[in-house]
Structure 1
Amino acid sequence: MLGMLLSVSSFAQNLTASAPSQVQLGQRFQVTWQVDANGSNFTAPQISDFQVLGGPNQSTSMQYVNGSMSQSISFSFVLRAAKEGEFAIAPAKIKVGGQIISSNELKINVIKGQQQASGGGQQQSQQKSNTQTTSSDGKDLFAKVEVSKRSAYLGEKITVDLKIYSRVTIVNFDDWKMPSFEGFWSKETTSNQQIQLQNEVIDGVMYQTGLIKQLILYPQKTGDVVIDPMELSVIVRERSSNRGRSVFDQFFGGYEDSKRPVKSNSVKIKVKPYPAGKPGDFSGLTGKLEMNASLDRAETKSNEAVNLKVTISGDGNLYQLQAPDLDFPPDIEVYDPKTADNIKVSTNGISGSRTFEYVLIPRYAGDFKIGPFSFSYFDPSAGKFKTVTQEAFDLIVEKGEGEEAASPAVNIANKEDIRLIGSDIRYIKQGQYPLLSGNSFFYRSVPFYAAIGFPVLLFALFLGYAQYQKSQGNDLVRLKSKRATGLAKKRLTKAEKLWDDNQTASFYEEVFKALTDYTADKFSIPVSALSKDKIKSVLADKNVPEETVTAFIGVLDKTEFARFAPGADKEMGSVYDEALEAIVNVENHA
């Protein structure tokens, strides 16, 4: 009898994993772990070969039979098959009665085509019967693209809300396709992975609304620019209309999950050009901005560094701000400025400051003027350009160490130290020197022609080299193309650090930027024209294999979707590897 009790107890404390044994590519399916006991500290395995759409979802079941209570707990994930092949899901673990028990390992075969996946038993049959695809009627479920304004100046801030409206119960979201925002510079303000629903009354009808994504847009071209519709699939739970329901369902009410495709409206924005009278020092920014310049000292010595800081602050797209073009005295050596940002993105737009720090090294003593400074921007509320100015700084430079050797001044101590001052006075040397024969003439001799030809040749070489340097400097397209891979790998290195710090949203945003910036620089695609369709077209024109293009676009889709999908933190490793592999493959074929 004791042996039978031990056998029953051991059986009741098994953690059982179940899932379809075979699914189709792209198919959604459910994986469940169940234990017939009161368990805690459930630890799911790392799921890297499938896309996690939802979970873990926990449910508890309790039954009383003849005065005895039995309990079972189940944990489930909703997955999608992302690639073909046979994959294994490692055992899960849970603590029951003070002991850690493990489940069985699952093996799932992912096939291609329309063939019906076999296996999976009752769970797969139930999933097939309870999930169906219907189209939205636009009354109880719809999406909207809402903008803060439909007419704006070039570079003026526009707030965009992508929202879902529903009068039915939303279970999950699937198959995202966000607008490409072609013709705009865009930045997200929301970083929430979970969409929070709240009540909103529209035309006297109560809806549950959820903000899917909010962005700040800055128009990059004039004319009528269209924001594409947002497309997604919504899993909703509704009362079943099947007449063949059981008596239990008829009494308590039966429900089924259905998948509805939803497509929002498109929005046309009228982008107005700048008015006439653009200043010569126009920064290209639209908003409300200020400038402040500071010099860390008013007196210094030659060959000692002085720091000049120019800070632009206020409301506007500071990410697009370039270093101002300043004029400095010719006797002061200036190094390229170092940029420091203090920029934040909120629902009110982009604000903060960007500071350019210049290192100035005066080479000679004297009194110098640093400045004056001016900065122009466009104020959309006033409809005109505005210029901010600041007076020049006085910089007094005293003679420092090392200047004497570099100074053009001459210290005449004695006749041996006399050097060439002008062009006609030299010290008369004394002593016996050989004289040239009167029959020997330099004119029309070989050295004469060599002396004439050598400067001409040297000048021609100098012009050729200068032209080469100019062509290299102007060929920004080729320069960006050469640096594209290196910059992408730097972004992926930053993404790897975010992965280590478990910053999921920032990780996926950095990977997304690495991929899009790589294609923009590599193939010279303007930021305003950058979209997935454009990337696909350019890669095809460069004879990149179709499977490589599909993999590249697939990683872009995954990074965009993962920021909203629950459990996305468990896929960061696979997304990182796929992004790096996609860039390397494109680089090998482009």
Structure 2
Amino acid sequence: MKRLFFLLLTCLFISTSAFADKTKFTATAPNVVALGEQFRLSYSLNEKGTNLKLPAINGFQILMGPSTSTSMSTQYINGKMTSSSSYTYTYVLLAETEGKFTFDPAEITVDGKVIKSNSHTIEVVRESTKNKQQGTHSSTSAQAQRITEDNLYIKVNVDRKSVFMGEPVKATLKIYSKNKNLVNIEPVKLPTFQGFLTQEIERDSPSTLTGENVNGEIMYTFIRSEYLLFPQHEGEIVIEPWEMNCIVQLSAQARSRGFFDDFFNNYKNVRVPRKSKPVTIKVKPVPNNAPASFDGAVGQFKISTSINQDSVKVDDAITMKVKISGNGNMKLINPLKFEFPADFEVYDPKTNQDLESSAKGMTGSTTFEYLIIPRHAGDFTIPANEFTYFDPKAKRYITKLTPEFKIQVAKGEGGVSSPTISSFTKEDVKFIGKDIRFIKTNNFEPIYKGEIFFGTLNFYLAYILPLFVFILAFVFNRKRIKENADVAKMKNKRANRVAMKRLKAASQRLHANEKEAFYDEILKALWDYISDKFNLPLSDLSKDNIRGILAEKGVDQEISDDFMTILDTCEFARYAPTSGSSEMDSLYQKTMETITKLEKNIK
């Protein structure tokens, strides 16, 4: 009986949830209206409903409504017909009181169920006398004069102008217009955000002109794009201006008005250039009392650690996962360094990221997977570890501990633990017996002391061979002198050799774990290679024109993108927290491959 009751309750819950998900009841209205302005409040329903109940509407007068409109659509997909209906209930309201008002959800009945809409907030502002006077103009010249920096401008809005190192800044490129006659925009120059690591925020729906209260006046705004900016160094960083052409539609009426002029108007589009003002961001260093376990993580995080098994045999693999989730500079978090037992062979952790950039910042999780292989039997302990991050809201460091894991390792097949060789690392393994060499036993003929050298073949070769070598050296030297005279050709020829020397120096920095010097050598190798290969002075090169130069030389787009990505990674990593050796080694290999591909691909 109880099982039947729970089954019926579950079916009722599922059917109610499905009904709630299927039926949508939405309220729409302007966000901002002027005092005395008429506007529409609409409720849309995708099912036929009855008994519509409005919430209390204070501060507004209902002039008309509800007027009901119905639309239906039918589709045939793969021979299957689907149909949908939409019902809209529209009211015309008059704003009578200045202030901000929130409409509670409206209610409507669908198939005996009461459905509620969303709530909506409307702000009523008083229209200035200046705007009313501007509305009386009608000629083209008068309208053009009304397009000023006060009623049409663009801005870079930031959510904060002072942040800690590693704390993101949300930047919004926004257009402000006093009228609704903005019909299009043409990008001229977008900011490069020099000094920041940028991540564009994907928008769920295209941006539209939206009313907004700006200093007590109604402005229609349009969001061009939004970014999360992660500072790369401390101090003041300036966001350079961005430029845009705004296409505004104006009414062009004839000077002499005729009978039909009251019924027909001509319109023309006017291109209005606009430029924003620079914005300065102050980047503060994190406090200097950081614990030893702090590795550059800034934000609010949670950490969880798990292993797939704690009782294994020798040479069986164990997977340990460390998951860090939250909001902050998730891309800059490095793997935790655990003190594994000496009898464990541990591989470099695998990193998996599930991140999303939104208006709230970069959220999601980063998971590190450690592959562990025990080589001897016994009871072992993976000690607890610390993960420390800086919370910019609390302005303090927070340390969280991972749990301690007990591992029991049993003997493998045959009752043996493991070959003795397993105590060495993969690089230190030696093969016994290869260092002993046999004495050479090949036959040889001794030279007798009394043998005559004059007149023998070796005698004549002793004169001929030096003469031949001298002639070859003379020809080669003449050729070398001629090639050295052509400076551009010499630089082109030695570009790859010079780049490889730089990369060799970078390899030495990599093994010495000198992070900044390593990235400097990589950058010098790339810049010097382009300079020598195309005979261009370093002062004339920049990230903006390198892509164009590579395109002119017929370089594939993929190779060009890899080259620019390496430049961006090096510039960012010089100021980022310490990178792991695996990331530096991967960058080194990718640089070698990219230069090799460039050498083969350049036409």
TM normalised by structure 1 equals 0.49
Q: Which has the higher contact order (CA 8 A, sep 6+)?
A: 1
TM normalised by structure 2 equals 0.48
